[in-house]
Amino acid sequence: MCGLAGVMTRDGGAPEPALLHALREAIAHRGPDGHGQLVRGGTALIHARLSIIDLQTGDQPLFTPAGAALVANGEIYNDPDLRAAMTATPFRTRSDCEPALFLAESEGIGFADRLRGMYAIAVHDPAAGRLLLARDPFGIKPLYYAATAHLFAFASEPGALLAAGLAARAAAPRRVAELLQLKFTTGAETIFPGIFRVLPGETLVVEAGRVVARRMRAALPAGGPLRLGHAEAKRRLDAVLLDSVTAHLRSDVPYGLFLSGGIDSSALLALMKRATGQRVQALTVGWEGGGALDESREAERLARVMGADCTRLEMTARDFWALAPRIAASIDDPTADAAVLPSWLLGRAARAGGLKVTLCGEGADELFGGYSRYKKRRAPWRWVARRPRAKGVFGDPAALAGWRDGIAAAEAVAGQGRTPLQAAQAVDIAEWLPNDLLTKLDRTLMVHGVEGRTPFLDPVVAEFGFRLPDALKAGARFGKVLLRDWLAEAFPQAGAYARKKGFKPPVGAWMAARSAELAPLVATTPAIAASLPAAAVHAAFAEAARDSQPAWSLLFVALWHAHHIQGVPADGDIGEVLRAAGR
């Protein structure tokens, strides 16, 4: 797992060294094990390496004999199969990304269709005079770009493009409204005007510094649910999950598991033990004082049952006040999801414990029907239930007009040939998953040089799971019906039918304890003062103990804006950063 960046000028002139230096420095944290750079003509490729596969010969850029060059951030899990099929290809390394390079040289814009993995890839082919950029179908790995009158540039993080002066440090008001209401922003346009996401599954062709073609690879199969009996579905699920976990364990460095104690990570624990027969190294996090949302003790119990080694972290109120600004600073493409807090702590602990790779449970809810909003898409509930995300975090105030436009656009294309439940899943997989959950995972881990792998987000798993009958996803009592039934047999001690708790620290209680201090500080920061009246801000903090999301969204956006737009250093505590931002 790595960081990448690059430039293609419009006139073919060499990119400015200062520009390349700024890009390289801005992505350095993503690849602490080394860096590479190629400059030829008007094109430059930059790479920061986190060594996972082929530690000796896998440095990038990689080259073909004809001169095509690749830099990548990703893991290609079907690398052995590709190599076996490409018998005439003159491979020079053991890097799992090398087959992608030769495919790009020979197949052009459709090269990524043969890849199984998570990836952001850039390939420069001087013979064809083009630059190819590709991102995996689920958007597990990030990739951004910006264009000026003189050049096209790309990077793993928008912060690198800002650091290089390729876009202004400004926040688009409609995107701020979206962030406050949804907790994330949608579509190709980021919150930074002039910086765009390469969409999940998209491949771009760039020639002479201009995008000349685009191609999409779908994350989900077409069509409605298949007719499939429960017993056969469970048998096939077992094979699909074991295959994916086995593929995701390919590594030349130590790996572990983030174990929450819930359904998804418990399933991964059982599958990792079965795939390797070895003791799994697990990390879990709990909260000061415990409480109903703390599943860490359950995670420790399950680890003991499975013979795994589990390290428990505890997040305290003191951690919250001290670290929240630093954590917000790490999330340049913002998501107001409180799970960024424990995820950042887990990433730091993984690195300190010598783990460069961790398996994570993201994607199981979206593919197997875990959210209550999916049940409401089934008859008879869908006739009386409102559509998902019909109401924002702050209701629907005029001050945040337009906040639902991106979700509405996704809904307009998601339901074609699908059931209402599948359509809701498709919207989440197109927007919520890449722009909230996977952004959170990438930034909170990569800031520590740790790779997060997501076995549920695999083409083989998606092909099977998305087309399951609705009744095997969302039942009258539980979501993830089939996954729970499988877990009840595969790992009986795991509490397959326990109620979903989520992965959320008690930020409401922590904010409520100092709400009188926080509310006026947040209300006077530029990001919030331009979006909501002070009365709404004070009301949100007064209710923080009962409903934490409005207050947390306000606080996160204020901290994020202070660092990424105003340039306030993130090395102080919450109060210090907010006071500096409000001056």
Please calculate the CA angle 46-48-52 and round it to the nearest 5 degrees: 135
| The pTM of the whole model exceeds 0.85 | yes
Residues of the chain with CATH 3.40.50.620: 230-372+438-494
Please classify residue 94 by burial: count the beta carbons closer than 10 Å to its beta carbon, then call 0-12 exposed, 13-18 middle and 19+ buried.
Answer: middle
Residue with tokens 């919207």: 427
Give the 3-state secondary structure of 512-542: HCCHHHHHHHHHCCHHHHCCCCHHHHHHHHH
Q: CA-CA distance, 536 to 532, in Å (whole number)?
A: 7
All CATH 3.60.20.10 domain ranges of the chain, comma separated, are: 2-216
In this predicted structure, the answer to whether residue 342 has a pLDDT above a threshold of 70 is: yes
Where on the phi/psi map is residue 236: left (φ > 0), alpha (ψ -120 to 50), or beta? alpha
pLDDT band with cut points at 50, 70 and 90 for residue 111: very high
| CATH fold for domain 230-372+438-494 | Rossmann fold (3.40.50)
Asked if pLDDT for residue 553 goes beyond 60, the answer is yes
Give the C-alpha separation, 569 to 473, whole Å: 45
Helix (H, G, I), strand (E, B) or coil at 128: coil
pLDDT at 76: 97
Please determine, for residue 124, whether its predicted confidence score (pLDDT) is greater than 60: yes
Mean pLDDT, the chain, integer: 95
SS3 459: helix
pLDDT tens for each residue of 313-327: 999 999 999 999 999
pLDDT recorded at residue 502: 64
Q: Which helix (H) or strand (E) holds 282?
A: strand 281-287
Q: What is the CATH number of domain 2-216?
A: 3.60.20.10
Contacts of residue 126, Cβ cutoff 8 Å, sequence gap at least 6: 40, 41, 43, 67, 68
As a whole number of angstroms, the distance between CA 379 and CA 75 comes to 40
> What confidence tens digit (pLDDT) does each residue in 48-103 have?
987 776 566 678 999 999 999 999 999 999 999 999 999 999 999 999 999 999 99
d(CA 15, CA 37): 12
Q: What is the mean pLDDT of residues 372-387?
A: 86
Q: Does 1 score more than 70 pLDDT?
A: no
Instruction: Give the model's pLDDT for residue 498.
Output: 86
What pLDDT band is residue 379 in, cutting at 50, 70 and 90?
confident
% of residues, the chain, pLDDT over 70: 98
Whether the pLDDT of residue 483 is over 60: the answer is yes
Asked if 445 and 358 count as a contact pair (C-beta separation under 8 A), the reply is yes
Buried b vs exposed e over 336-348: b needs ≥16 C-beta within 10 Å?
Answer: bbbbbbbbbbbbb
Q: If you ran DSSP here, which 8-state letter would residue 201 be given?
A: T
| Residue 88 burial class via C-beta count within 10 angstroms: exposed 0-12, middle 13-18, buried 19 and up | exposed
Q: Which long-range contacts (CB under 8 A, 24 or more apart) does 220-223 make?
A: 220/425, 220/426, 220/429, 220/462, 220/466, 221/462, 221/463, 221/466, 221/467, 222/417, 223/417, 223/418, 223/467
User: What is the pLDDT at residue 260?
Assistant: 93
- Asked whether 95 and 58 are in contact (CB, 8 A), the reply is yes
DSSP conformation class of 566 = T
Residue 57's pLDDT is 66
Q: How many CA atoms lie within 13 A of 5 on its CB side?
A: 29
Residues 5, 10, 14, 18, Cα dihedral to 10°? -50
Tens digits of residue pLDDT in 274-313: 999 999 999 999 998 767 678 899 999 999 999 999 999 9
pLDDT digits (tens, 9 = 90+) for 435-467: 999 999 999 999 999 999 999 999 999 999 999
- Predicted pLDDT at 576: 97
Helix (H, G, I), strand (E, B) or coil at 313: strand
Q: What is the mean pLDDT of residues 414-441?
A: 95
Q: What's the confidence (pLDDT) of residue 516? A: 96
* Alpha-carbon gap, residue 66 to 126, rounded angstroms: 9
**Rg of the Cα trace of the chain?**
23
DSSP secondary structure letter of residue 432: I
pLDDT at 417: 87
Q: What are phi and psi of 276, to 5 degrees?
A: -115, -25
Q: What is the pLDDT of residue 53?
A: 65
Residue 6 has which token pair?
């690059």
514 sits in the region (left: phi over 0; alpha: psi -120 to 50; else beta) called: alpha
pLDDT (0 to 100) of residue 54:
59
pLDDT at 503: 72
Residue type, 271: L
- DSSP E strand boundaries for 168-232: 196-197, 202-207, 210-216
Q: Cα dihedral angle (324, 570, 334, 530), rounded to 10 degrees?
A: 100
Q: Does the pLDDT of residue 408 top 80, yes or no?
A: yes
